[in-house]
Amino acid sequence: MIGSVGSIFFLNPHLLPVALGWRLAFFIGPVIGLVMIYLRRQVPESPRWLLTHGRGAEAERTVDEIEARVRRQGLELAPVPDSRAIEVTGQGMVSYPQIARTLLRDYPSRSFLAFSMMVTQSFLYNAIFFSYALVLAHFYHVALDQIGFFFFPFAVGNLAGPLLIGRLFDTIGRRKMIMFTYCVSAILLAISGALFDAGALTATTQTIFWCVIFFLASAGASSAYLTVSEIFPLELRAQAIS
């Protein structure tokens, strides 16, 4: 959304020279990145992850800070009995052979599920994002300085999907909602492709189609990242996503 709004101003030749505008637009990414780095510093690292990587003292310190924050809010945490304790063995860094062995030998069906979910959503996102401006300019003859106005509702649809229907993955069920979001977005994409090939769409109707598609697809893609991060052992979940 920030990028689409920025493009309306930076890529408008009536406001800035073209050679300068696109260069300034590139600074939007680093600025957002700096904000995310600051926010990341406010999020404590997972104590379980720290334990599995042999950083027990840091894990204890993180848990103590969380408990102290809860107590400052007037709440008291119930003690955990020894019968519910979980033993976590630190392994340090996980090697690439260990990752390959875990994914391909120990969990082949989970790996296939994760691979299919991640690849299909990335194909959809990359195909549309990388070609959206070209489609608007070359097929619908939208002026280059007006393309940002079409990107903004597209970005809103991407954000609204996980915010509005993300909770349904918990209430209705993750399997049902993953199937629904993936299948319905694929069907709508096929319909929009057929209408585009027949020349039955305008820039506005094409944008509406893709907004609806990505409203569903963004929620499905979010669930893909969450699912992949949960179905593999803790120490290699990040590597499984990558």
11-68: pLDDT as tens digits: 778 888 888 888 888 888 888 899 989 888 888 888 877 887 778 888 889 888 888 8
**Between 237 and 24, whose confidence is greater?**
24
pLDDT at 201 over 80: yes
Count CB neighbours of 223 within 10 A. Answer: 21
**Is the Cβ–Cβ distance between 117 and 227 less than 8 Å?**
yes
170-189: pLDDT as tens digits: 899 988 999 999 999 999 99
The predicted model gives 206-224 an average pLDDT of 91
Q: What pLDDT is recorded for position 63? A: 87
Count CB neighbours of 232 within 10 A. Answer: 21
Q: Return d(Cα 140, Cα 201) in angstroms, integer.
A: 9
Place of tokens 């189609």: 209
99-137: pLDDT as tens digits: 888 888 999 999 998 889 888 888 888 888 888 889 999
- Record the tokens describing residue 42, joined without a space: 């406010």
- Residues making up the chain, counted from first to last: 242
**Is the Cβ–Cβ distance between 1 and 159 less than 8 Å?**
yes
**Is the Cβ–Cβ distance between 186 and 242 less than 8 Å?**
no
Q: What pLDDT is recorded for position 34? A: 92
